[in-house]
């Protein structure tokens, strides 16, 4: 699928060319239903020469740290939903085979129900939004929403939910997406740029019976600051604080393998990173000095890429700063949507996050380690709280409350980066899109179940090696 490139303004004359009116763009979006009826969005057609899920994972492993791959597979073994989380590359080939409107937005690229959370804005306000952008790339809006609704059905089934709840979740996501997109289509661009889903907005979505759990979640997230991380992640070794080793998930690099050369590389990388920060943030960042660093295994899909936690101090240990270093590789969507406009893959991730999220932390930025590795850096925890499925946070009872927030957050990201009027025109306000997306989600849940069975068999036969859970 061809993705339109971002236009470059070559002269002042370019500013005199207004966009077609909102009414015209809504009508253009509605007209697309004749070429691609809403009902066809519900048809899942696998590619004729579909690559097996095992082969896709083996191909991905070639560019990752071999010793960490078994941890990735162990995490994917936990349930069909855990497998789905780690299988963005598997689904990418399937999404590329489906018909689309070609209304381009900045895609998250790995949209699922655990890819949302709370975070602090630059002004330290607590807001809700998408929180992982490793696979971000421009593409048609359907790719994200189809992956999201499929994840809702798969997660619901993995948690023991029934078909009634699955339908309800997809309806909540889809109807909120339609509602918000219609709202954003009419909104002045500056107002749209300043839209966030704040704490008061979040509370409106939760029933009274779920407020207590929500309050606990909000309180915990607000407490996720650098001092709290200092207490959990470090210990005194003599007179110095060091990151605590918890192998194989958190551990220092072997001196025999890397020694001072790695620290030299990290310092060069930090200089590279700092050089492109905005002036005020550069001055702030350079007041901190690197005390310690260690590899930290995170997530499911990211396992095997080079991820580290970096511990900095200001004038004392009472002024800590924890940063997360994440290697950035090509998006899993690249084979189908083309290369990023950005040569540096960390730049790709950061640009995508700024477009979709609108309020990333003040230290979000990218860099490179020579010509060998692109990366991005962000604060490890600064009023950040992810969404975890289970009794403690997202249960079968309060899942529908969260589902509306998922649809809203995705609509906001797509409206920031794409043409909300055209998308709103195509989606309309009827339940026809809802029915179609549920049909797609059910069909893809079946595909995911079959892929998961093949994956489990590959692990059982020894073709893929998974870590033993008791060792993690």
Backbone angles phi, psi at 236, to 5 degrees: -80, 130
Closest C-alpha among 321, 330, 302 to residue 362: 321
d(CA 21, CA 222): 42
Which residues lie below 8 Å from residue 247, measured CB to CB, with a gap of 6+? none
What are the residues facing 325 on neighbouring strands? 308, 377
State the pLDDT at residue 17: 74
d(CA 33, CA 25): 13
State the pLDDT at residue 377: 95
Q: What angle do CA 377, 383, 387 make, to 5 degrees?
A: 90
259-266: long-range contacts, CB 8 A cutoff, minimum separation 24: 263/290, 263/293, 265/369, 265/370, 266/290, 266/293, 266/310
Ordered by start, the domain boundaries in the chain are 20-223+392-471, 226-379
State the pLDDT at residue 239: 82
**12 DSSP assignment:** G
Confirm if 376 and 346 have CB atoms less than 8 A apart. Answer: yes
- Name residues of the chain where pLDDT drops below 70: 1-16, 122, 210, 217, 219, 221-225, 255-260, 359, 382-387, 390-392, 470-472
- Return the structure tokens found at 53: 């899920």
**291 DSSP assignment:** E
d(CA 172, CA 407): 7
State the pLDDT at residue 9: 46
The reported pTM is 0.92
Which residues lie below 8 Å from residue 193, measured CB to CB, with a gap of 6+? 358, 416
What are the residues facing 104 on neighbouring strands? 140
Closest C-alpha among 272, 273, 326, 317 to residue 292: 317
State the pLDDT at residue 18: 83
**5 DSSP assignment:** P
């Amino acid at each position: 699928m061809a993705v339109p490139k971002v236009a470059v303004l070559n002269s002042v004359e370019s500013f005199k060319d207004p966009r077609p009116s909102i009414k015209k763009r809504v009508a253009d979006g509605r007209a697309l239903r004749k070429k691609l009826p809403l009902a066809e969005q519900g048809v899942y057609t696998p590619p004729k020469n579909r690559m097996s899920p095992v082969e896709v994972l083996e191909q991905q492993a070639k560019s990752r740290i071999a010793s960490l791959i078994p941890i990735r597979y162990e995490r994917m073994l936990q349930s069909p939903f855990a497998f789905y989380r780690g299988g963005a590359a598997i689904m990418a080939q399937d999404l590329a085979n489906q018909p689309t409107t070609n209304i381009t937005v900045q895609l998250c690229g790995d949209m699922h129900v655990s890819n949302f959370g709370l975070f602090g804005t630059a002004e330290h306000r607590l807001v809700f939004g998408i929180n992982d952008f490793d696979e971000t790339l421009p593409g048609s809006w359907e790719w994200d929403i189809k992956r999201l609704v499929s994840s809702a059905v798969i997660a619901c089934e993995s948690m023991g939910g029934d078909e009634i709840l699955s339908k309800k979740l997809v309806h909540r996501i889809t109807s909120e997406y339609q509602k918000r997109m219609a709202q954003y289509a009419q909104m002045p661009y500056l107002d749209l740029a300043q839209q966030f889903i704040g704490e008061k907005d979040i509370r409106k979505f939760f029933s009274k019976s779920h407020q207590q759990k929500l309050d606990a979640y909000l309180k915990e997230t607000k407490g996720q600051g650098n001092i709290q991380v200092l207490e959990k992640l470090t210990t005194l070794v003599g007179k110095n604080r060091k990151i605590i080793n918890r192998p194989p998930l958190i551990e220092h690099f072997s001196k025999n393998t890397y020694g001072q050369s790695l620290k030299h590389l990290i310092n060069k990388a930090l200089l590279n990173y700092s050089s492109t920060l905005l002036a005020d943030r550069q001055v702030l960042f350079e007041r901190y000095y690197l005390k310690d660093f260690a590899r930290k295994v995170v997530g499911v899909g990211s396992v095997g890429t080079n991820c580290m936690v970096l511990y900095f101090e200001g004038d004392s240990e009472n002024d800590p700063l924890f940063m997360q270093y994440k290697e950035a590789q090509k998006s899993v969507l690249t084979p189908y949507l083309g290369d990023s406009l950005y040569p540096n893959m960390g730049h790709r991730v950061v640009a995508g996050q700024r477009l979709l999220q609108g309020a990333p932390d003040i230290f979000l930025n990218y860099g490179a380690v020579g010509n060998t590795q692109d990366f991005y850096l962000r604060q490890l925890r600064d009023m950040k709280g992810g969404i975890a499925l289970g009794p403690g946070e997202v249960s079968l009872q309060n899942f529908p409350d969260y589902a509306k927030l998922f649809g809203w957050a995705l609509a906001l990201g797509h409206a920031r980066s794409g043409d909300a009027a055209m998308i709103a025109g195509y989606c309309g306000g009827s339940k026809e899109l809802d029915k179609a997306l549920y049909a797609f989600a059910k069909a893809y849940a079946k595909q995911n179940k079959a892929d998961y069975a093949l994956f489990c068999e590959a692990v059982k036969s020894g073709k893929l090696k998974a870590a033993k859970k008791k060792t993690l």
